[in-house]
Structure 1
Amino acid sequence: VTVTMSNIGMMEGAFFVGRTEILAWLNTLLGTSYTKVEQACNGVAYCLLIEKVHPGVISKKKIKMEAKLEHEMIANYKLLQNAFDKKKIDRVLPVDRLIKGRTQDNLEFLQWLKRYYDLHCGTDYVAQAEVQKENLRQTVANEKRKPVRAKRPLSATATAAAATPVVAAVPSTSGKSAIAEQTTKARAQTEKIAALQVTINDLEKERDFYFSKLREIEVACQNLEGGNEAVQAFAESVKSILYKTDSEDFVVPEGAICAEEVQIAA
């Protein structure tokens, strides 16, 4: 299968997938529990993602799942590079940056991997998650249907022990107070989380709105290519503003150049 991704610029949608969405996708697909994108810097998640797209291209037994030291991480990236070579994936692995655990670098690589996965496999990860849930429900149901073995008759000692009434422990006043305090704190935290979620949703809507406008401007500039010098100069000046970064820590993704076609062969 040959997948062509054209016009991948800084305004391409793949690079606007937020950390929350990326982590939810990653954990759903791999059954992991990552809470930060930089936790993927050891290369384990990257290897497993490529193995999902191309089963068997990386042996899971060779992946160092608990890689923490640099040489262990590098071993994982070697497996990943070999897989890229086998499948002729035209993408440079920025190992020296990923391995440092910087959020921006690992986020951009995960964004690219999500794009690569979606192009090859679509949104099957959602269906897969549902299948896994259904299998779990089926397993639980089968366990419940198993016949119950007949219980052995209790001995005289066991019968006497069973007949002895058990007095339930009554929580002390201080215990009740602590429980009430914890309940109040939990309720406050829940309300705070709900408020933050509303804020996040509003910010994401605002982000999408401005992204669509910027993308329209980028496409308009691309359509001006081939015009007279004045028009091209204007288009270039607009694009230079679009691609300008203010943060020194922000690194423009490799290959993220307008009108560039990236061939990914699988």
Structure 2
Amino acid sequence: MVINVFFSAVTQATMSRHELLAWVNDCLQSNLTKIEEMSTGAAYCGLTDFLFPGSVPVKKVKWNCKSEPDQLNNWHILQKAWKDLGIDKPIPIDRLLRGKFQENFEFLQWFKKFFDANWADHEYDAIDARGGEDFPAALPGGTKAPARVSAPRPPPPRAAPKAAATTTKPALPPKAGPPARTTQAKPSSTSPAPPTNGAAAGGAAEAKFKQKVDELTNENAVLGETVAALEKERDFYFNKLRAVEILCTEIGEGKTVTTDKVLQILYETDDQEGVQEQVQDEATHVEAGIQDIEVPEIMHKEIEEIKNELTHDVKENGTNGATEAIVHQAAAVNLDDSETF
């Protein structure tokens, strides 16, 4: 009985596209190089027949189709097989036929989860099932597609013990004997690559990352200089607006500002004196002038006499008498218009 599964790329741990593509090639003994090649439907027909042997008429599958009608034929074959098996997953044929990476990648992620849930260990010859046809076909000029480089196909986790048992073991070395001038046997093709290759690859990757870090550091420095220049320009124009505001405030209400003064502020550069400094200097000068005004000596005497009389009246007659004294003294004060302060 088929086990239908639900898959969400948001909540489930997924394999990378390279791992998924290697898994497909291991199952079908194929040489697919891109996820987009799954859009023809041929690989899913082969994988479904691999999972449920005999469920798909693989002889009708167009393994190396290029036209859309042939691709539709493959998807219709797959749809019928899934319906007969009881697989309730809808196939978004229109989206998959576009050959876009994302749609085909998500659908392949779901199929891998479905495959793992329904896998039962059994033997299957994918090349024999498709009649020995290369998948994909040889490149123009008679050259075959580059062979994939991968380990023997590992089945899903439930079949892991058997897979380990069927893995080809390297041949045992010959027994020790007397030295002889015979040619040494070539190492087996299954021997691991020399460790120097891995070290060289790691060094190249590290150099690439260091170069990228240097590029990002330089870019960050350029951006920092740009931001500093923009902030300086912002402050420059803000100071101009502030200077215009100070100019208008100092002139006061009911008066107008000449355009010459405004234009002078607008056309000033950093090395010129701003209007704000000029206005501030003028305000300071006026305040200092006010503080320098001297009160005539006669006024000091009159003020002192008035203070003494008011104090005496308050003591003798109370506040009413003090009020009358204030009126009397105010009438008696006669300021000369010629006196300046």
Q: Report TM bin, short chain.
A: 0.3 to 0.5
- The answer to which structure has the higher helix fraction is 1
Question: Greater RCO between the two (CA within 8 Å, min separation 6)?
Answer: 1
Q: TM-score, normalised by structure 2?
A: 0.38
Whose radius of gyration is greater, 1 or 2?
Answer: 2
Q: TM-score, normalised by structure 1?
A: 0.47
